[in-house]
């Protein structure tokens, strides 16, 4: 199994989902894309529709019942978004610019940092992402180990904080070694 780094892409997608105020969702790889299905407030659905209308970015490719039209799927507050590698790169660049300008420390409890932590956890396990399910107080992670075993773990969001702190300290140590 080829090693995949998930921390940065999952953080970038998390930042996008934060901007859309999406809190509960399912995320899974579909071919070369990452699909997110979840509930979004009406204002977020309007924001997503505006992105599509403006042609602002390609990351908001969404399919409606298998139709490859670029429109968000809007059924009773549900959205379905597909992120390509190019979309994630764009989101990462935009996020880096925002973070550089703010000078604020990362919020460990934010969705983007929670997903970054999940990505780091997958990397430590040398595992392949199958699915992430985010509920208000928990994250369920489904993955395949390097030996081919399928695993499923559920974490309370508050319990991911300790893992996030360890990963943060490791990044800081690497940065100070440079």
Per-domain boundaries in the chain = 7-177
Higher confidence at residue 160 or residue 60?
160
| Cα 168 to the center of its chain, rounded Å | 18
Mean pLDDT of the 130-148 span: 95
Q: How confident is the model at residue 66 (pLDDT cuts 50, 70, 90)?
A: very low
Higher confidence at residue 60 or residue 154?
154
pLDDT at 68 over 70: no
Mean pLDDT of the 70-94 span: 77
For the chain, what is the mean pLDDT? Answer: 79
Using an 8 Å Cβ cutoff, are 48 and 69 in contact?
Answer: no
Most confident range (mean pLDDT) of 39-53, 124-138, 162-176 is 124-138
Instruction: State the Cα–Cα distance between residues 83 and 67, nearest whole angstrom.
Output: 16
Residue 158 gets which letter from DSSP? G
Name the helix (H) or strand (E) containing 117: helix 111-124
Instruction: State the Cα–Cα distance between residues 115 and 121, nearest whole angstrom.
Output: 10
Percentage of the chain lying above the pLDDT 70 cut: 72
Mean pLDDT of the 8-37 span: 93
Higher confidence at residue 110 or residue 47?
110
Q: How confident is the model at residue 3 (pLDDT cuts 50, 70, 90)?
A: low
pLDDT tens-digit series, residues 92-111? 998 888 766 665 666 777 89
Q: What is the pLDDT of residue 122?
A: 93
pLDDT at 137 over 70: yes
Q: What is the pLDDT of residue 52?
A: 61
Least confident window among 25-29, 99-103, 145-149: 99-103
Tokens of 139: 């994250």
CA dihedral 34, 37, 42, 43 (to 10 degrees): -20
């Amino acid at each position: 199994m080829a090693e995949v780094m998930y921390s940065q892409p999952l953080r970038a997608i998390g930042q996008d989902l934060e901007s859309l105020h999406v809190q509960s969702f399912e995320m899974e790889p579909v071919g070369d894309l990452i699909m997110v299905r979840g509930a979004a407030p009406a204002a977020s659905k309007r924001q997503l529709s505006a992105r599509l209308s403006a042609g602002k970015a390609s990351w908001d490719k969404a399919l409606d019942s298998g139709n490859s039209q670029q429109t968000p799927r809007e059924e009773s507050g549900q959205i379905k978004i597909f992120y390509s590698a190019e979309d994630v790169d764009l989101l990462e660049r935009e996020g880096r610019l925002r973070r550089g300008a703010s000078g604020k420390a990362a919020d460990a409890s934010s969705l983007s940092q929670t997903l970054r932590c999940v990505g780091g956890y997958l990397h430590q396990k040398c595992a392949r992402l199958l699915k992430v399910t985010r509920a208000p107080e928990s994250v369920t992670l489904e993955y395949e180990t390097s030996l081919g075993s399928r695993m499923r773990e559920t974490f309370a969001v508050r319990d991911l904080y300790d893992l996030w702190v360890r990963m943060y300290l490791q990044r800081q140590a690497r940065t100070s070694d440079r």
